[in-house]
A and B are shown apart, each in its own frame.
Chain A
Amino acid sequence: MKRTIQLGQDLPILGSDVVASGPYHAIACDSKGCTSTAFQVLPSSPARLSFLVHPSRVPVSAANAINATALVFDRFHNTVLAPTTVEFHFSSEGATAYTRSLTTLRGIAWLRVGSTSKQGPLRVVASVGETAEPRVIQQVASEACGLRMQAISLPRSVTLQTDPIRDCSGNPLPDGTVVSFTKIDDAGRSTVDIPIKKGVATTQFSVSGRARISLACGVVLGNEISIGGPRR
């Protein structure tokens, strides 16, 4: 800003003219030259939060899988350098809600927590005074646990169906998750990928002679079934 002034008069500076914190220089010039003085504008009180939570989806019961970082600003978006307490509140259906309080360092507070054992939304709210920023993380079922299938043998084929597929905490794996059935028989090796539908995966193989059929979902192996005679 630039103003023409009269000597001997006060020079009011509006707050709206110095919304950015930091050092300023006031330079006064006349026909003989210029002179200057410096002054410092400090951040105001905490009024804004920038809150980042990662990831947006996380498997259940995963230790230290959730990162939350809060940056504290005043209402003019200057970083609040003074140590400030930020509260992080975690809540989800079927789990006990809890709060962690942290003090900022250079305007930043962060923490790492694990997910709960129940799938569903986990609500995370960071707050400073009256300012609160909510975020939601989707907790999804983890890897399959106790993966098993049943077989119904027909004259030249076999129908396979898994038991309801759940993780070790009892959360059903979402429909669309791929399950792989692999058959090895006299005709060779054959694998088919089937998405889970209504909690189970179903497929049918034609069988030539004796066959061995195995099951996998992600990194988890299920049971193995032999059909058409004793296993070699």
Chain B
Amino acid sequence: MTQRPHILRCLGLLVLACLTLVSYSDFSASSVHASSLPRVTLNAESIGPRPIEHRTGETVTRDYAQAWQDLAESLDANRTDLLDDYFTGEARSRLTQRISEQQKIGLRTRYVDHGHQVKAVFYSPDGGEMQLEDQAQIEVQVLDGQNTIHITNSSHKYLVLMTPGADRWYVRSLEPVPDDAF
């Protein structure tokens, strides 16, 4: 008897419906939830050394949600072009590589995103980098052709580095980390 083992990176996911800004009550907490976007709640109470501006908090929250939507679609459809809008640097390279590997062996990954509790922990004095801790609830389905061969529905932690571009914040690094990382 033969077995076919698959080794897969356990990244995130999502799925939801219409773009609606839920609340931007203050600088320390904002969230975005749209029918088509994953729910992202940003808490910046402990950010440093630079405080986060209200508008920046809104933008980071929205762009991070957009990035997760694109990530989910790109891994489900095995399309690297969907990563162009919100990913850059190492994050984009790794996801591109992962999609390439999925294509090669006939796999797809489907993420059902149940939301992200994001804590902004570092914002450089010059405003050039922001580090986030993301605790995400994600259902991950691995499909081999039309067959679902693996499903997990659990909490995942990510360490995220975002950097500003001309009109948006980009995800530069998105690393899954152990449960005890933060």
Residues of A with Cβ closer than 8 Å to B?
1-7, 11, 13, 17-18, 20-31, 34, 36, 38, 40, 42, 52, 54-55, 67, 69, 71, 77-79, 81, 105-108, 110, 112
Q: Does B173 contact A (CB under 8 A)?
A: yes
B91-128: CB near A (< 8 Å → 1, else 0) gives 00010000001000111000000000000011011101
Given A2-B105, A79-B159, A106-B159: A27 in contact with B178 (beta carbons within 8 A): no
Q: How far is the CB of B138 from chain A (nearest CB, A)?
A: 12
Given A24-B10, A38-B10, A81-B159, the answer on whether A29 and B176 have CB atoms closer than 8 Å is no
Among B5, B124, B156, the most chain A Cβ lie within 10 Å of the Cβ of B5
With known contacts A25-B152, A27-B142, A7–B1 Cβ distance under 8 A: yes
B11 neighbours in A (Cβ, 8 Å): 22
Interface residues of B in 59-84 (CB under 8 A from A): none
* Complex contact A2–B149 (CB within 8 A): no
Do the beta carbons of B176 and A81 come within 8 Å of each other?
Answer: no
Assess the B125–A67 pair: CB atoms within 8 A.
yes
**Which A residues lie within 8 Å of B122 (CB)?**
105-106, 108, 110
Partner of A3, one of B5, B124, B161, B173: B5
The CA-CA distance from A3 to B121 in the complex, in Å, is: 40
Q: Other than the known A5-B2, A30-B2, what 20 A-B pairs have Cβ atoms closer than 8 Å?
A: A2-B107, A5-B4, A5-B5, A7-B1, A22-B9, A22-B177, A23-B156, A25-B6, A27-B150, A28-B5, A30-B3, A52-B129, A67-B126, A69-B128, A77-B90, A78-B175, A105-B122, A106-B121, A106-B133, A110-B125
Does B166 sit within 8 A of A, measured CB to CB?
A: no
Q: Is the CB of B121 within 8 A of A27?
A: no
Interface: B131 (CB within 8 A)? yes
